[in-house]
Structure 1
């Protein structure tokens, strides 16, 4: 199986993760106490606000660490289809659809994430296979018409 991008991440996925880290860091910086602010807190409400902000900053730190780990170690799970795989399906009602497999959801409406129920059902499938996957309305079936891994 071909792994696309750096450590299983496509360039678009890498940019998305880098933007997410930048946004999280900006949020964390906005929560940081101003110099001398902790010494000025006098009443319980001020102290509670400082504690709430510190807890929110700690949550942001954990999120930053998780996203940084994805960037450093990759997000590729060898049991899933690699980012950039092209898939065409024929659904039980006869409709056909072409999709791109992505690691991270984005704005592309013609995509599916590799770890979605449909993405997991496609892992290991071959052209001509009928797959079954879970939807909010119950089980669904589709026939694989095309399954093209990304080019290096």
Structure 2
């Protein structure tokens, strides 16, 4: 992801800032609520501790993404592909490495490289039919064109 655009890096940085602020508020609440109490208080503290751990994990994941330390599987990010579906409709998709690169309003025309479709397209060629799993069952699409980044 070293080639991620500035907007993606800024969105990642903003989410990290937001998570750190949320973590700080949560830790402050936990410190203020500590002390003698009933088992309900202890349960709240455990839940708060779990939430802090989840926030820490997400921050670490985002830092890794922002630093470009990800393993890309499937079709190369930056690939543009035009597909024909079984109903005859066609759609152009842009491939990104991570969900955080999907722009608002482009969710329906963006595919992550490691999604089932992205993995199916990894070796797809123009004119071929690829098959990939969906929650509703397997889907086959014809690759009308595939333009990989240079």
Aligned-residue CA RMSD (Å): 2.5
- For structure 2, the residue ranges without an aligned partner over 5 or more in a row are none
Cα deviation code 1:102-144 (max 9, x no counterpart): 2233331211111111111001211111111112221211111
**What are the residue-to-residue correspondences of 1:1-152 with 2, within 5 Å?**
6-7=1-2, 9-33=4-28, 37=32, 41-44=35-38, 45-77=40-72, 79-105=73-99, 106=102, 107=104, 108=106, 109-150=108-149
Unaligned runs of 5+ in 1: 1-5
CA displacement, residues 37-72 of structure 1 (integer Å, 9 cap, x when unaligned): 36x623224454344323321221122112212222
- Give the structure-1-normalised TM-score: 0.78
Alpha-carbon distance in 2 for matches of 1:19, 1:111: 22
Aligned length, in residue pairs:
144
Larger relative contact order (Cα-Cα within 8 Å, sequence gap ≥ 6) = 1
Judged with a 3 Å threshold, the aligned counterparts in structure 2 of structure 1 residues 18 and 81 are, in CA distance, closer, same or farther, namely: farther
Note if contact 1:114-1:120 (Cα within 8 Å) is conserved in structure 2.
Answer: yes
Q: 1 CA distance for matches of 2:76 and 2:13?
A: 20
Given that 1:9 and 1:76 are in contact with CA atoms closer than 8 Å, whether structure 2 keeps it comes out as: no
